[in-house]
Each structure stands twice: as C-alpha cells, then as structure tokens.
Structure 1
Amino acid sequence: MHYTGRFAPSPSGPLHFGSLVAALGSYFQAKSQHGRWLVRMEDLDPPREMPGAATLILQTLERYHLHWDGEVVYQSLRHHLYQQQINDWLSQQKAYYCQCTRKQIKQDGGYYRGHCRSKQLNSSGCSVRIKIDTPITEFFDLKHGHIALPQAIAEEDFIIKRRDGLFAYNLAVVIDDIEQGVTEVVRGADLIEPTGRQISLYHLLGAKPVSYLHLPLAVTATGAKLSKQNHASGISLENPIPTLIEAMRFLGFTLEKELESASIEQILAWGVNQWHLAQLTKETQVTTLFSNRVS
C-alpha cells in the first residue's frame, strides 16, 4: 500500500515549536518512504479558534518549505459526514444519547459508568456516546512497541458528539483518515491515550487501523507542554533556518555546522535522506530550549 501521512493542526493559535516538531516528524516519515504528506485543518471547536490562525499556519508551513500534497481539508466543512455516521450508529443502536454531566462523572470517580446506555433518551440536552463492547487495551507503536492503555478508559463508552453540538475529535479524525487514505499517523505523545478509542472506531467502521508513531513532546523546564493553551509563541517566519535546525536536533538529527548555511530545501532534502526511527528518543517528553517562549 502506498504510504500516506498527514499533519493535522488545530487553528487555535500560530504554529509553535512543538507543532513544528510534529509537522517535521510526519513530513520526514512520509517523504523518506516516497509517500504523500497531507495537511488537514482540525477546526472542530470554534470557541477555541483564533481568527486567521488557519491561514497563518499554512503560511508558516510554506515559509518552512513544508509543501503538502493535494488540497487542505477543513473539518468544519465535513460536519454532514460526521452526523451521517452518528445517525447510522444511532439507528443500529451502536450509539446512544447521554444526559450525564461532567460533575456526575467526576462524582463516579472520573469515568463514565454507562448510566444512560439503556435509557433510550432523545437528543434534547444530550451528548452522543458510542458503545464499546470490545475495549482496546493496548496498541503497537512504531517507536515504543506495545503500549498498554488504562482499562477504565478503554472500557468507557466515549462521547462522539458533545451536548453543545460539536463533534468529538476522535470521531472526526478517524472518519477523515479513512476517507483520505491515511496509512500511518505520526503525532505527539500527548495523543497516546486516545489511540485505543480511535482504533475502536476503525473496528466499528469495518476499516483497517492505521499504524502509529508517537513523537516526543517538547516541554518546558517545569514540564509544561508547549501548546497554544499554554500560550506558546509562534515560530519565526522571517528567519526560519535556526528554528528548523533546532527542531531537527530535537528529533534526533546530528547536523554538521556547515549544513546551517545551506538552503531550506537542501536541509529538508538532507533530513529526508537521513531520517530513521532509531534516532528518536524513547522518552515521551523532552525539555526544549524553547521553554522561554512560553509566557
């Protein structure tokens, strides 16, 4: 099967160093296998989005010469597909409406206990949950090997549509990856935990799950993830090469000093040629010098 990878940022802020690491890791993995590298904008949560962020992210990728294949897909234009699948599952009784609140779930120990599974509620004021009858308790990661997942999370009937009408990330990402022909997902280690839920959805949809590779997270000296929620600053558009080289070193490359005077195209081509999974640390979090860019 021809390799297809993807980078799928959410437009809640500019592209920061941690996002660049994820973009580069997925890009090098795809291009080293002569595969396609897609970009998808995961704009599922309007209240968290920053106006203009999607355009800025794409401009940043272009400035770093991370050119994607095909057209950019926007999840905000695909709501009808997510709803159609939810309707199918509801009609097949593979999904159901749930009225439980976060407060109630917290009182139950932090995990949903299936209170609404057999209540046959209507949609009013409810979320939609998928029935998980065959929990996924482990998966294979290309770098980390077999990863065990918490049993309580694996067994939980999780939300696929929130009570506020927004579609859940786990649902959208699986439907989109299947439709786009993605064969392997390369992303940050912060997304290890939902992997089991996503594999469950592949099985429910009768599709073969993708392969997974989770990259180390860039964290500050205090252990905080570099993220838009933590106000990580956007990376430089004016002088991209120093940031590009630092991100590549974060990914385990050993770059000779003379490479720093090469063009971006030459640096990326060298990276594609030299990329191998053994260079990645097995740590899931790595402190970065970019910690001072988080305010």
Structure 2
Amino acid sequence: MNPSAYNGRFAPSPTGPLHFGSLVCALASFLDARHHQGQWLVRIEDSDPPREIPGATTIILKQLESHGLHWDGDLLYQSQRSDAYEAALAQLHLDGLSYSCDCNRQRVSELGGIYDNRCRQRQVGSDSAIRLKLPEHNSEAIIAFDDLIMGDYRQNLSTEVGDFVIQRRDRLFSYQLAVTVDDQFQNISHIIRGADLLDSTPRQLYLQRCLGASVKQISAMQYAHLPLAINSQGQKLSKQNHAPALMPGEESSNLWLALQWLQQAPPNELRREDHATILSWAVSNWSLAQIPNSAEIPAPETT
C-alpha cells in the first residue's frame, strides 16, 4: 500500500456478533474511506482469547458482507502477529522505555486508576506485567490532536494515566501496543471509531513516537471519534450490555437507520432499496461534518 494514501480500517474483537453500535462504526469508517477513494481494511483483534466467542469472527465477517461492507486486501488477524508485538517490546526494552511491574489491579484502582510508577526501577522480567515509561517532564507528556468530530483533545499522560501496561502479566499483549503496531504496519491514515476510545488515542500516538514514527507521520494521522450509541437505560450498546445482534434480512433497514443516526439525512424512500443502492447514495452524500460532537446519542428503538 502507498503510505501516503488514505487507509482506513474497522477492527472488531470477536466477542460476539455485530450490533447497531458496531455497525455505525463500521459504516462510518467504510463510507469515509470510499468517499475519499481510499482503502478500507478489516482487522480482527483476536488477541485476548479469554474474551472471545467461538465462531464470532465468521459471524462478523458474514454480517459485514451481507450489509455490502466489502473490505480491501487480506484480513489481518492479531492472533497471527505475536512476532511483531514481541519485536516492538524488544525495541522498547532496548531503548530503556519499559520495565516490569508487580502491582495488581486493586492497587492501581486505589490510586484512582492513575499509576504512580512505583516499579520504575525494576528490570524487565518474565513473570510480571510490562509498563511503558512516560517522559520525566510533564510538558513532554502532553499529547494533543484535532479530532475530526470532537475537536481539540489533549491529555497529560503523566498526570492522567501514568506509565501504562503494554504486556499483561498473563503474557497477552495490551490493546494499546497491538493496535499501535498494527496501525503502523498497515499504514493506517484515518481512524474512525467510538468515543469510548478517545482517551486511548494519546497513548497510541505516544507509542507511535516511541516505535519510530516521525513527527510528520504522527501529525498526518487523522482521528474521528463517533458518539456512542446508547440504549434506553443510558448504557453504551455493547455485548456486555446485551445489545441485540443485527438481524439477518434487515440489512437495508439497518443501513438506513445507521445513516439517520449519523445525521446523514437519508431519504425515506431509500429505506426500501437494496444495500448496494443505499451505500451508493451514502458514499456520494457522505459528510463527516454532519455528525454531532456529543458524547452519546440514543440508538433507534428498533435496535
């Protein structure tokens, strides 16, 4: 792939079928890529086996295809990328940017979730979690970017996060490490995803820097964080909150409702068309600027 081209991606975890909230993210990223004549890639983030549901990957891919959301190139599976993550960890260790940590979740929770860097003087071992060292000076730990939906966002990693885990005690790679390595590998230029990941973005931008990305490369990356679709109880639509799976045979209605939720103003008559017609209209009329910069929006009652 051309590193300077538009490369977007949708990266589901195989913890269950797609629901309305995940369809919104898939559709928005797909439409933005197609509107800009870019590539749309699908990455299966299957790096946490205890959370995965057997057969979920097959279901997710069939759901994408049945909605006309066809991806470019080969699928990327995080479960097949262990060597790349190990190489990234080795590089960070060589650069003196990582250390072992024996602190458990209860201790970190008692700190308010902001790690106090207690184990910083430890060397990397084989029986502990591994954390990434943040800059000594707070000013160097401030990461800012202009989100295409949410606007200016900044975070002081030292005071708001603390040194964060890049490999868990059970030897599984952290989400932050795996997604950063994969975004570099796939030359991802545009990331459109839910607002629940907004506060993860500064960590990923900082990791990009630690793993050798240039300032120019990092500044060229575009982020757009979508409002969260919530249910009638005010909860984010998620598998944990028992969001219903997308129903087979309802693809046209699902797409129309998702476009309406994304404030794209689809014509009422479009709802009766097939998915190819709906997507053709949506690509031509796509406007990221129409999406409100609110944290959450109620999902349609039918979902």
The answer to whether structure 1 residue 141 and structure 2 residue 144 are counterparts is no
Amino acid at match of 2:144: E
In structure 1, the residue matched to 2:90 is 87
In structure 1, the residue matched to 2:254 is 243
How far did residue 105 of structure 1 move?
1.6
Amino acid at match of 2:103: C
Q: CA separation in 1, counterparts of 2:6 and 2:168?
A: 33
Secondary structure, in 3 states, of the residue corresponding to 2:142? coil
Q: Which residue of the other structure, out of 260, 266, 286, is the alignment partner of 1:275?
A: 286
How far did residue 29 of structure 1 move?
0.6
Q: CA separation in 2, counterparts of 1:183 and 1:137?
A: 18
How far did residue 92 of structure 1 move?
2.4
CA contact (8 A) 1:135 1:155 kept: no
The answer to whether structure 1 residue 53 and structure 2 residue 56 are counterparts is yes
In structure 2, the residue matched to 1:257 is 268
- Unaligned stretches of 5+ in structure 2? none
The answer to whether structure 1 residue 105 and structure 2 residue 108 are counterparts is yes
Q: CA separation in 2, counterparts of 1:255 and 1:106?
A: 45
- Unaligned stretches of 5+ in structure 1? none
How far did residue 221 of structure 1 move?
2.1
In structure 2, the residue matched to 1:182 is 188
Q: CA separation in 2, counterparts of 1:99 and 1:148?
A: 29
In structure 2, the residue matched to 1:73 is 76
The answer to whether structure 1 residue 230 and structure 2 residue 236 are counterparts is no
CA contact (8 A) 1:136 1:200 kept: no
In structure 1, the residue matched to 2:176 is 170
Amino acid at match of 2:256: I
How far did residue 191 of structure 1 move?
0.4
CA contact (8 A) 2:19 2:246 kept: yes
How far did residue 149 of structure 1 move?
2.8
CA contact (8 A) 1:5 1:182 kept: yes
Secondary structure, in 3 states, of the residue corresponding to 1:82? helix
Secondary structure, in 3 states, of the residue corresponding to 1:193? helix
Q: CA separation in 1, counterparts of 2:151 and 2:143?
A: 14
How far did residue 206 of structure 1 move?
2.1
Q: Which residue of the other structure, out of 129, 133, 152, is the alignment partner of 1:127?
A: 129
Q: CA separation in 2, counterparts of 1:94 and 1:198?
A: 15
Aligned length: 291
Coordinate RMSD, CA, aligned: 1.5
Amino acid at match of 1:43: D
Q: Which residue of the other structure, out of 26, 36, 51, is the alignment partner of 1:23?
A: 26
Amino acid at match of 1:240: E
Change (3 A) 1:177 1:153: farther
Secondary structure, in 3 states, of the residue corresponding to 1:182? coil
CA contact (8 A) 2:124 2:130 kept: no
The answer to whether structure 1 residue 12 and structure 2 residue 23 are counterparts is no
Q: CA separation in 2, counterparts of 1:194 and 1:284?
A: 15
Secondary structure, in 3 states, of the residue corresponding to 2:225? strand
> Hey, which bits of structure 1, 4+ residues long, moved more than 3 A?
150-155
TM-score after normalising by structure 1: 0.94
Amino acid at match of 2:250: N
Change (3 A) 1:29 1:46: same
